[in-house]
Structure 1
Amino acid sequence: MPLLFIARTITGLLSLLILGTAIYLGWSWWVGETAAAPDGEWIRVREDWRLWLALGLLLWSFGGRLVLPFILAKTDGVTPQGFPRAESQLTSPTGARLYVEKEGEDGPTILLTHGWGLDSTIWSTSRSELGRLRSLQPHRLLVWDLPGLGKSKTQPGCIGPDAFAKELAFLLEEATEGPVILVGHSIGGMTMQSLIRQRPDLFGSRVVGVVLLNTTYTNPLRTMILSRLALALRRPLLEPLMHLMIWLQPLAWLCAWQSYLSGSAHLANRIGFGPDVTRAQLDHVSLLVTRNSPGVQARGNLAMFRWDASGAISAAACPTLIIGGELDLVTKLEASEAIASQGRSARLCAVPRANHMGFLEQANAYHSEILQFARALAMRDSPKAPLP
């Protein structure tokens, strides 16, 4: 999302400044200064503090990630276990190669769409929590990598919420059976709103429920903190920076990895979390946004600048659950409130102590709401066999 792009750019430049300072100090120590000795000969004088400071900064530039998470986040809790899954690569009509994972044999499908810069591995906690529902009522679970991220591939011109909505429609038709509940975080929720506009016929028939997590209904610059400043900087600064990142992608990727190793990426991504983030959560998110192509992420941000789906949720002929974080800086709670006010059968849940990545750090609260929502749908569709 744009706010995190701005934060990563600033901390990335800071990381490069530290590395550049280390190189300069090391070079200046090696060169030293010439001075006259008492006997009249010229000698080279080196100040050892420059060498030690250079080594310290160099060590931080490539090992800071081992220290910063201990300062920025809490001790980790229980790590979700691995999952039995069926992996596949599906080729859509647009030519995109979509990476899909499925689990479960029977029942409705819960289809999870992740946020921007991440991939389907971000749902590990969700898969563990939603697994509790399978013990009460059989269901399938499907996660996928958005085109251009993770193991999914696509063309540069096919990146953005509207393009992703076409791929989501393809998955609904080719990779799911029976009723489907769509769950989307951030750009995943934006993609679902685009799909409502493109294919309203799917909602109320194939799609029986929609869950939007920490998302917006318009250009994210308008619903983030400091939105007026961000909008003022969009054309003179943000868009040129993103185009530069696309043109210089190899260099941008190299800088991103250096920022990750130094811990600067962790500092930037900390903005998307509330007070309860753990070290593993922070490192996982930082690794994903580093591992995924900077050029793809820049193209996605540019597409979001031109995106607007105001009122789209009103065309969804199925129940909708909107979950927002009270502390969300990336897509403020006001955005979730606006979406909920537009929906015909929408319910808003505001989660305390939750920022943009609330479904990770406040997993119990988020998944409790999703499970209750799924239970209500099951009771509505099968009144004779409700969930316990």
Structure 2
Amino acid sequence: MAADPLADERFGHLPYDEVTVVTTADGLDLYVEIVEPDDGIDLDFGLTSPPEPTLIFVHGFCLDMGTFHFQRTALTHRGAYRMVFYDQPGHGQSSKLRQGEYTLDALGEALKRVIDETVGDGPIVLIGHSMGGMTIMALAELYPQLFTDQIRGVVFISTSAGKLDEVTFGMPDFMARFSRPLVPVITGAGRLTGGMIDALRRASTDLAQALTRRYGFGTEKPSPALVKYVEQMNAHTGTEVVARYLRAIYTHARYPALEALKQTRVLVVSGDQDKLTPPDHSAEICRILPDAEFVPVPGAGHLALLERPNVVNAALTEFLEQVD
């Protein structure tokens, strides 16, 4: 058996310059790590170079800021950008709702609070994976002017603007099993009950598995160390949090919100083997935003940014160099 090339990778242990907590309007504390750029000193003239945009990374469902491990590593080595990473509500080291359900509007408001408290009025590039991309779309719906005045670029990785209730995961039998406990969540108007949460606990086990071995990766034999790392992120997301997010994700529909991005530089990245947010979802984003750049990642699944980091990093670096 070939040795695992990522066996010694320090997943979950990356340096940062500052840790802070941002509190949302609904009282949740968001864990934030900030990486500062190298000093922009011109050795010939002693001048500080113009500030590059701050990069804010927004991770997906059942994951945390560690999803961007390889992008953070590569860009830290370049030393050109200030980077902000945070765990979305209920994920990673951020706090959880005590009652009620999570909504994408609330996630958009949380992102706005992160912007206000870590960047202020400076230029920004937003980078969202999966549900993180949906969070960015919610922000665009709530604050469209930001995408004209402050946000210089947006990167959508393995995400969707809607119709996730139609995704079959390439496996109709699995979807049938998974959908039954979702029905009262997706169609019900009231709050989650204890019985719903109990049913969803069982469904969430299938979901966590779906996000890793079979559905998270496009290759048949991904790195065992990488799979273990993703499983650890999944496991850290409690089943009650999973339950409270499901309606938000499965009823997500923000095609009109993309109109706010028509004057913003956009990069769309998708693994061509993605079964969770299939490539046609990225194609639909590009149809609405015809000036967006599209980069397919051959052989990659939903976790293309971890599975094929060289391809994703090359596209991201080139994109950032083009941002005004």
For the aligned pair, the TM-score class normalised by the smaller chain equals: 0.7 to 0.9
Partner of 2:146: 202
| CA distance in structure 2 between the partners assigned to 1:176 and 1:118 by the alignment | 24
Paired letter, 2:59: H
Question: Counterpart of 1:359 in 2: which secondary structure?
Answer: helix
Partner of 1:182: 126
Question: Counterpart of 2:70 in 1: which secondary structure?
Answer: helix
Call closer, same or farther: CA 1:372–1:342 in 2, change over 3 Å: same
Q: Scaled by the length of structure 2, what TM-score is found? A: 0.81
Question: Counterpart of 1:338 in 2: which secondary structure?
Answer: helix
Paired letter, 2:24: S
| CA distance in structure 2 between the partners assigned to 1:205 and 1:245 by the alignment | 46
Call closer, same or farther: CA 1:168–1:158 in 2, change over 3 Å: farther
After superposition, where does 1:251-330 map in structure 2 within 5 Å?
A: 252=201, 269-270=212-213, 271-275=215-219, 277-316=222-261, 317-330=263-276
After superposition, where does 1:155-174 map in structure 2 within 5 Å?
A: 155=97, 156-157=99-100, 159-174=102-117
Paired letter, 2:286: A
Pairing 1:123–2:68 present: yes
Contact residue 118 and residue 288 of structure 1 kept, 8 A: yes
| CA distance in structure 2 between the partners assigned to 1:148 and 1:298 by the alignment | 11
Contact residue 217 and residue 309 of structure 1 kept, 8 A: yes
Question: Counterpart of 1:170 in 2: which secondary structure?
Answer: helix
Deviation at 1:225, TM superposition (A): 3.4
Q: Deviations over 1:268-296 (max 9, x none)?
A: 62121121621111001111111211111
Paired letter, 1:209: G
Deviation at 1:234, TM superposition (A): 7.5
Call closer, same or farther: CA 1:289–1:172 in 2, change over 3 Å: same
Structure 2 segments unaligned to the other structure (5+ residues): 38-50, 187-191
Coordinate RMSD, CA, aligned: 3.2
| CA distance in structure 1 between the partners assigned to 2:216 and 2:27 by the alignment | 33
After superposition, where does 1:143-158 map in structure 2 within 5 Å?
A: 143-155=85-97, 156-157=99-100
Which stretch of structure 1 is more off in the superposition, 149-158 or 325-334?
Answer: 149-158
After superposition, where does 1:33-52 map in structure 2 within 5 Å?
A: none
| CA distance in structure 2 between the partners assigned to 1:129 and 1:113 by the alignment | 17
Deviation at 1:314, TM superposition (A): 2.3
After superposition, where does 1:49-68 map in structure 2 within 5 Å?
A: none
Q: Percent identity between the aligned chains? A: 26
Deviation at 1:342, TM superposition (A): 0.4
Question: Counterpart of 2:212 in 1: which secondary structure?
Answer: helix
Deviation at 1:157, TM superposition (A): 3.0
Contact residue 64 and residue 88 of structure 2 kept, 8 A: yes
| CA distance in structure 1 between the partners assigned to 2:88 and 2:126 by the alignment | 14
Given candidates 337, 361, 368, the residue that maps to 2:283 is 337
Paired letter, 1:99: Y
Q: Scaled by the length of structure 1, what TM-score is found? A: 0.69
Contact residue 89 and residue 98 of structure 1 kept, 8 A: yes
Call closer, same or farther: CA 1:266–1:330 in 2, change over 3 Å: closer
Pairing 1:373–2:319 present: yes
Partner of 1:42: none
Call closer, same or farther: CA 1:300–1:241 in 2, change over 3 Å: closer
Partner of 2:47: none
Partner of 1:349: 295
Deviation at 1:85, TM superposition (A): 2.9
Deviation at 1:150, TM superposition (A): 1.1
Call closer, same or farther: CA 1:233–1:286 in 2, change over 3 Å: closer
Q: Deviations over 1:52-92 (max 9, x none)?
A: xxxxxxxxxxxxxxxxxx89x95526615631331111212
| CA distance in structure 1 between the partners assigned to 2:312 and 2:154 by the alignment | 14
| CA distance in structure 2 between the partners assigned to 1:86 and 1:369 by the alignment | 27
Report how many aligned residue pairs link the two structures.
Answer: 298
| CA distance in structure 2 between the partners assigned to 1:246 and 1:88 by the alignment | 35
Contact residue 223 and residue 334 of structure 1 kept, 8 A: no
Call closer, same or farther: CA 1:265–1:147 in 2, change over 3 Å: closer
Contact residue 203 and residue 318 of structure 1 kept, 8 A: yes
Deviation at 1:158, TM superposition (A): 5.4
Paired letter, 1:192: I
Q: Deviations over 1:280-331 (max 9, x none)?
A: 1100111111121111112112221222112322221211100011110111
Question: Counterpart of 1:327 in 2: which secondary structure?
Answer: coil
Q: Deviations over 1:19-75 (max 9, x none)?
A: xxxxxxxxxxxxxxxxxxxxxxxxxxxxxxxxxxxxxxxxxxxxxxxxxxx89x955
| CA distance in structure 2 between the partners assigned to 1:160 and 1:203 by the alignment | 21
Contact residue 114 and residue 186 of structure 1 kept, 8 A: yes
After superposition, where does 1:13-92 map in structure 2 within 5 Å?
A: 75-76=5-6, 79-80=9-10, 82-92=14-24
| CA distance in structure 2 between the partners assigned to 1:309 and 1:224 by the alignment | 20
